């Protein structure tokens, strides 16, 4: 008996971003607000970070709601029905359940069930990781249309009195739809990791520390002890911290190299770019990267951080969304995007803007 | 290999480019933070530019020990040796 030949899905030769969406939560936190919590000033924060405000979501708005809002706009902008989605990829580090995924619920709320849905944990590189995968899924034929979402409610995992990172962070969501195209619209992704710097950015401690503590508090018989234990437990909630100087150095000088590789891999030069949208970590990092990359003045640089703060996986699509609103002529032009963050992880690619 | 005077002059040039401070203000006994008002981010930029200019490696954990311009000159001179 002869072995039958397997069928494989036909590939799509090219892919591109077809539409983009964004969600910015309503609470605006100013630098003066921040200075109630840390000893600083509006001037100091602007000068060191370029941040003027950041958005934060109210208690009843979760990562899921923000992601659904951004995803729905991206679908509408792309002219794609939720039912056409072949996969939903959600990059987030602030979905507060280890399982089930944020993506499965977001997919259901968008009306895209039974599309395959999964979360990506790649922090501030998460959106670029998602685009790398979306591009691969579309071109391989595994999915015709892929929704890539970056969504973060970082305000749940900060300590307002902490000085290394909390005051930089904001909440928000951004999304794109990637689909088949007649010509190349997503350049090769240059992506990777460096776990030797695993400690450079991350949580103050493990969830297991919280578990151990709450178990010992439950055994306590004294009401007073239990109250004190409750207070201590809330201070045990893991929050973000970073080694700012190490991260700054890595972000600027190592990431400028990665950005150059992404340009080379795409076969274009800085002169061919319409926009440069790096992860919105710190305006000083953005300025220094622009310098390292020797970008011509004609390239419009995403500087959404001034208004939105650092929103981790959401920052690149949010900044891109703003650029397209403010500069509609960028539509169809090339944008170099690069995400980098906790892991450490990084991802970059040139995309044709929707 | 650069002499201490050359290292100081080179550092002064780097500091000038990053901060706009006059090169002659960059003296051996000056503290980067207290006297020259250089913040941690600018310090990292200066460190990376110094690495490139003098062909040395200045590890992150060493940067906090470089309190004065003289500390930086000594470290670079030692690292070149």
The CATH number linked to B14 is 1.10.1200.10
Q: Does A249 touch chain B (CB under 8 A)?
A: yes
**Is A95 assigned a catalytic role?**
no
Q: How many domains does chain B have?
A: 1
A276/A134 same-domain check: no
**Is A321 assigned a catalytic role?**
no
User: Which of A55, A279, A282, A321 does the annotation list as catalytic?
Assistant: A279
All residues at 6 or more sequence positions from A114 whose CB lies less than 8 Å from its CB, including other chains = none
Is residue A8 in a domain? no
Is residue A2 in a domain? no
Is residue A325 in a domain? yes
Predicted local confidence at residue A106, as pLDDT: 98
Predicted local confidence at residue A229, as pLDDT: 59
Least confident span in A205-209, A233-237, A240-244, B34-38? A233-237
CATH number of the domain residue A299 falls in: 3.40.47.10
Task: Compute the distance between CA of residue A197 and CA of residue A210 in angstroms, rounded to an integer.
Answer: 24
Work out whether strand A190-193 and strand A27-30 pair parallel, antiparallel, or are unpaired: unpaired
Least confident span in A100-109, A187-196, A222-231, B18-27? A222-231
Is residue A5 in a domain? no
> Chain A residue with minimal CA distance to B49?
A253
A119/A194 same-domain check: no
A232/A263 same-domain check: no
Task: Compute the distance between CA of residue A348 and CA of residue A255 in angstroms, rounded to an integer.
Answer: 9
Q: How many domains does chain A have?
A: 3
Task: Compute the distance between CA of residue A125 and CA of residue A247 in angstroms, rounded to an integer.
Answer: 14
In the structure, what pLDDT confidence band is assigned to residue B80 with cuts at 50, 70 and 90? confident
Nearest to A11 by CA among A140, A187, A135: A140
A91/A158 same-domain check: yes
**Is A35 assigned a catalytic role?**
no
Q: Which two tokens stand for residue A227?
A: 């109250």
Task: Compute the distance between CA of residue A243 and CA of residue A81 in angstroms, rounded to an integer.
Answer: 43
Q: Mean pLDDT of all residues in chain A?
A: 93
Contact between A353 and A339 (Cβ < 8 Å): no
Task: Compute the distance between CA of residue A303 and CA of residue A51 in angstroms, rounded to an integer.
Answer: 10
CA distance A259 to chain B (A): 18
Is residue A9 in a domain? no
Say which residue the tokens 């500091």 belong to. Answer: B15
**Contact: A245, B45; criterion CB under 8 Å:** no
Instruction: Indicate whether A227 pLDDT > 60.
Output: no
A153/A170 same-domain check: yes
**Contact: A245, B39; criterion CB under 8 Å:** no
Is residue A6 in a domain? no
A266/A156 same-domain check: no
**Contact: B41, A248; criterion CB under 8 Å:** yes
A165/A312 same-domain check: no
A211/A282 same-domain check: no
A75/A110 same-domain check: yes
Residues on chain A touching B39 (C-beta within 8 angstroms): 47-48
A142/A280 same-domain check: no
A194/A224 same-domain check: no
Among chain B, residues having any CB pair with chain A shorter than 8 Å are: 39-41, 43-45, 47-48, 60, 63
Domain holding A293, by residue range, is 190-199+242-352
A247/A221 same-domain check: no
**Contact: B44, A48; criterion CB under 8 Å:** no
Contact between A202 and A342 (Cβ < 8 Å): yes
**Contact: B48, A249; criterion CB under 8 Å:** yes
Is residue A1 in a domain? no
Task: Compute the distance between CA of residue A115 and CA of residue A71 in angstroms, rounded to an integer.
Answer: 14
Contact between A201 and A247 (Cβ < 8 Å): yes
Nearest to A143 by CA among A180, A176, A168: A180
Work out whether strand A345-352 and strand A190-193 pair parallel, antiparallel, or are unpaired: antiparallel
Percent of chain A clearing pLDDT 90 (strictly above):
81
Domain holding B37, by residue range, is 4-80
Q: Which two tokens stand for residue A304?
A: 């959404």
CA gyration radius, chain A = 21
């Amino acid at each position: 008996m002869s072995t039958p030949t397997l069928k494989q899905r036909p590939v799509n030769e090219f892919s591109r971003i077809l539409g983009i969406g964004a969600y910015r939560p309503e609470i605006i936190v100013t630098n003066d607000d921040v200075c109630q919590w840390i000893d600083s000033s509006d001037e100091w924060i602007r000068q060191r970070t370029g941040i003027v405000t950041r958005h934060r979501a109210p208690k009843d708005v979760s990562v899921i709601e923000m992601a659904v809002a951004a995803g729905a706009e991206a679908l509408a902008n792309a002219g794609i029905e939720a039912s056409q989605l072949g996969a939903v990829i959600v990059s987030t580090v602030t979905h507060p359940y280890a399982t089930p995924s944020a993506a499965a619920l977001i997919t259901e709320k968008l009306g895209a069930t039974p599309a395959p849905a999964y979360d990506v944990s790649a922090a501030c590189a998460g959106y670029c990781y998602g685009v790398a995968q979306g591009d691969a899924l579309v071109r391989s034929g595994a999915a015709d249309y892929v929704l890539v979402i970056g969504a973060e409610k970082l305000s749940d995992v900060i300590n307002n009195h902490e000085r290394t990172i909390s005051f930089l962070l904001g909440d928000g969501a951004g999304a794109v739809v990637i689909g088949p195209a007649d010509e190349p619209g997503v350049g090769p992704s240059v992506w990777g990791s460096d776990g030797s710097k695993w400690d450079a950015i991350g949580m103050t401690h493990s969830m297991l520390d919280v578990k151990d503590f709450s178990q010992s508090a439950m055994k306590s018989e004294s009401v007073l002890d239990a109250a004190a234990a409750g207070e201590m437990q809330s201070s045990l909630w893991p929050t973000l911290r970073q080694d700012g100087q190490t991260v700054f150095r890595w972000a600027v000088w190592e990431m400028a190299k990665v950005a150059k590789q992404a340009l080379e891999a795409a076969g274009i030069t800085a002169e061919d770019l319409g926009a440069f949208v790096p992860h919105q970590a710190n305006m000083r990092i953005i300025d220094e990267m622009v310098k390292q990359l020797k970008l011509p003045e004609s390239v419009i640089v995403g500087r959404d951080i001034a208004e939105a703060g650092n929103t981790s996986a959401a920052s690149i699509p949010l900044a891109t969304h703003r650029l397209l609103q403010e500069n509609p002529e960028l539509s169809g032009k090339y944008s170099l995007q690069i995400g980098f963050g906790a892991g450490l992880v990084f991802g970059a690619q040139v995309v044709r803007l929707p | 290999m650069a002499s201490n005077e050359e290292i100081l002059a080179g550092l002064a040039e780097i500091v000038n480019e990053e901060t706009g401070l006059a090169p002659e203000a960059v003296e051996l006994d000056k503290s980067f933070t207290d006297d020259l008002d250089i913040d941690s981010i600018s310090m990292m930029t200066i460190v990376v530019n110094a690495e490139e200019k003098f062909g040395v490696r200045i590890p992150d954990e060493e940067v906090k020990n470089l309190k004065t311009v003289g500390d930086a000159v000594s470290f670079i001179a030692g690292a070149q040796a």
